[in-house]
A and B are shown apart, each in its own frame.
Chain A
């Protein structure tokens, strides 16, 4: 991590949109609003549930709600929960809008900076950018605008557009309140640290990041394994252009390519690591099976596939699972619920991995343990006190 970054600030680079005083204030308001909603408003939801809706459900059904679906049924008409939901959703809409204003003002410059990076002679680039307009945007990426980001990852408003990348980069930083570090790299850092600890014998020569977006996690792996050749793929050109310019500007070597993770054009056995961060929950049931089979094909013997996500619902009490599930129906995350109830063993086995090669773990967030004072909360649905990621995957037999 770059030590020159001021505390609580996002690391600057050639394509990061820099806000004016007013634009920054608008983003800070959204941050404060989200904090207020999660710490001062959301706590009342549990009271409303335990004291009003659960007893009501009980008198109807003769028992308490047993799972998140029944809690949802009990809560769907609760006015306090509805008010919080409306405000929470509104804060999400305001978040993206507050960043968009700032991007629109700077877009021509950002596009020019990205173009300069992409068009500079290959010998002067650290990594590379390979776009392929024939790669279609999968239906599950464009059916709705995921997490309410207007235009999603795929919309282009001008030639050479990078706005979607800028929106994601800055928006995620404001959303996470800086808790993913100055490069939003926490999931990637955590996964790389986990990998090192779990597979100390493996020094990856080639690493592939699936659904890399702007390279938040890709760069974490470049840092962790400076000798590895690191690749990132995504189906959306605007985020890839941005990712490439960002990496070049930060002095990181990454090869970005527009490809679909369900079927890439890399040769068999090309990678020692095939990983993803916050990617699985934005795919689909059918796509995921194909992606896991493709990962199996791409791995060299002894190579490792690993996916990093937020923790599964598994052991959560029904009310907590219900709150955690809020995003599925309120934040345009259609695969959120189903992806948090996957069985890694069954998934990996179906893709070709032996059952006993499968692993899952909940490592503590790298950033929360090394940098930040863990005093801030994302949103009401966050549970469990500690702040952990969930890593699952499998190793291909050597």
Chain B
């Protein structure tokens, strides 16, 4: 790229989400990789669709391919499945949380009443 570059980071301190800040960096790299994998998958999908349609598969045709609503919907569904796989550990935690018993109602009443 030889044109002007835009600043990539936003001005302002980032909150510390993890006791060890390296965890946040690794997380960012994992999600970035997942994103690039989804990009590759969409690109592959484009190639397959061009082939199905008997159209020439050129870099130009791939770059120009603009998915219609049906294709976008299919890709949306694929990405949700893909993200469910990537975030499996979080979903398991969420399901565990959902199964945990809620505090007893009487305790809540006492709490609200300041008892």
Interface residues of A (CB under 8 A from B): 6-8, 20-22, 24-26, 28-30, 32-33, 35-36, 40-41, 43-44, 47-48, 50-52, 54-55, 58, 62-64, 80, 82-83, 85-87, 89-91, 93-94, 96-97, 100, 103-105, 107-108, 142-145, 148-152, 155, 157-158, 161, 163, 167, 329-330, 332
Chain B residues within an 8 Å CB radius of A6: 68-69
Residues 56-71 of B contacting A (Cβ, < 8 Å): 62-69
What total count of A-B pairs have CB within 8 Å?
183
With both beta carbons as reference points, the residue of chain B lying nearest to A107 in the complex is identified as: B3
A21 contacts B35, C-beta separation under 8 Å: no
State whether A158 and B4 are in contact (beta carbons under 8 Å apart), knowing that A51-B103, A332-B12 are contacts in the complex.
Answer: yes
A50 contacts B90, C-beta separation under 8 Å: no
A85 contacts B17, C-beta separation under 8 Å: yes
State whether A28 and B79 are in contact (beta carbons under 8 Å apart), knowing that A80-B97, A90-B27, A332-B10 are contacts in the complex.
Answer: yes
Chain B residues within an 8 Å CB radius of A150: 6-11
| B80 → A minimal CB distance (Å) | 6
Q: How far is the CA of A91 from the CA of B27 in the complex (A)?
A: 11
> Which listed residue, B15, B69, B80, B98, touches A44 by the CB 8 Å rule?
B98
Q: How far is the CA of A107 from the CA of B32 in the complex (A)?
A: 24
5 smallest A-B Cβ distances: which pairs?
A144-B12, A44-B94, A145-B10, A25-B42, A32-B79
B53 within 8 A of A: no
With both beta carbons as reference points, the residue of chain A lying nearest to B79 in the complex is identified as: A32
A151 contacts B112, C-beta separation under 8 Å: no
Interface size on B, residues (CB 8 A): 60
- Jot down 18 A-B pairs with beta carbons below 8 A, ordered by A: A6-B69, A20-B63, A21-B64, A24-B66, A26-B39, A32-B83, A33-B83, A44-B90, A47-B97, A58-B111, A104-B4, A105-B1, A107-B4, A108-B3, A143-B11, A143-B12, A155-B6, A163-B6
B76 within 8 A of A: yes
Q: How far is the CA of A82 from the CA of B23 in the complex (A)?
A: 12
Apart from A21-B46, A44-B94, A167-B6, what 18 extra A-B contacts exist at CB < 8 Å? A20-B64, A21-B64, A21-B66, A24-B42, A25-B39, A28-B76, A29-B35, A32-B79, A36-B84, A41-B87, A54-B103, A58-B111, A86-B17, A90-B27, A94-B35, A97-B8, A100-B8, A145-B12
Q: How far is the CA of A40 from the CA of B113 in the complex (A)?
A: 34
A157 contacts B10, C-beta separation under 8 Å: no
Chain B residues within an 8 Å CB radius of A330: 15
0/1 interface trace, chain B 94-105, chain A, CB 8 Å (1 if under): 100110111100
Query: Which of A29, A108, A167 has the most chain B CB within a 10 Å cutoff?
Result: A29
* Chain B interface, DSSP helix/strand/loop, else mixed: helix
Chain A residues within an 8 Å CB radius of B62: 21
Q: How far is the CA of A52 from the CA of B80 in the complex (A)?
A: 29
Query: Which of B5, B17, B64, B102 has the most chain A CB within a 10 Å cutoff?
Result: B17
Q: How far is the CA of A150 from the CA of B14 in the complex (A)?
A: 13
Q: How far is the CA of A83 from the CA of B9 in the complex (A)?
A: 21
With both beta carbons as reference points, the residue of chain B lying nearest to A43 in the complex is identified as: B94
| B28 → A minimal CB distance (Å) | 5
With both beta carbons as reference points, the residue of chain A lying nearest to B47 in the complex is identified as: A21
With both beta carbons as reference points, the residue of chain A lying nearest to B31 in the complex is identified as: A90
| B79 → A minimal CB distance (Å) | 4
A50 contacts B63, C-beta separation under 8 Å: no
B5 contacts A157, C-beta separation under 8 Å: yes
> Which listed residue, B35, B75, B87, B100, touches A40 by the CB 8 Å rule?
B87
| B33 → A minimal CB distance (Å) | 11
| B67 → A minimal CB distance (Å) | 8
> Which listed residue, B43, B68, B72, B100, touches A51 by the CB 8 Å rule?
B100
Q: How far is the CA of A63 from the CA of B107 in the complex (A)?
A: 10
Q: How far is the CA of A93 from the CA of B7 in the complex (A)?
A: 12
Chain A residues within an 8 Å CB radius of B1: 104-105
> Which listed residue, A8, A21, A54, A148, touches B43 by the CB 8 Å rule?
A21
